Amino acid sequence: MFAKVDAAISKNDQGGRAQRLFAAVVLAALDDAIADDKKYGNGAEQIARWARSRDGREVLMCAGIDPNERCVKGMVGFVKKGVRTSVALSREESERQAEAA
């Protein structure tokens, strides 16, 4: 009986790990777009093009993100802010933004 439960838990956890992997790919794409925006000034256009592409939509869906136009606009806005994802996800940055608001 416990073997079936363990197998079900492992199977569900594997799906969660795959989703987190695709989410990491999305974060890496955002970081690359931010770097390109600082270097060449076209990062926002690149992330929008990627998110609207077939591969980009597939990665976003696998990460659990609905690849609609609102999502694309949010990603473009994030790139235009120029804050790397590792900094934006840190506790210090969220506290600083909360104090500024």
Taking every pair of Cα atoms in the chain, the longest distance, rounded to a whole number of angstroms, is 59
| Residue count of the chain | 101
Cα dihedral sign, 73-95-27-10: negative
The pTM of this model reads 0.80
What pLDDT was estimated at residue 75? 97
Is pLDDT larger for residue 48 or for residue 83?
48
CA–CA gap between residue 98 and residue 47 (Å, rounded): 27
What pLDDT was estimated at residue 5? 57
What pLDDT was estimated at residue 15? 85
Mean pLDDT of 21-40: 96
Residue with tokens 């790990």: 17
How would residue 4 be classed by pLDDT, with cut points 50, 70 and 90?
A: low
What pLDDT was estimated at residue 78? 96
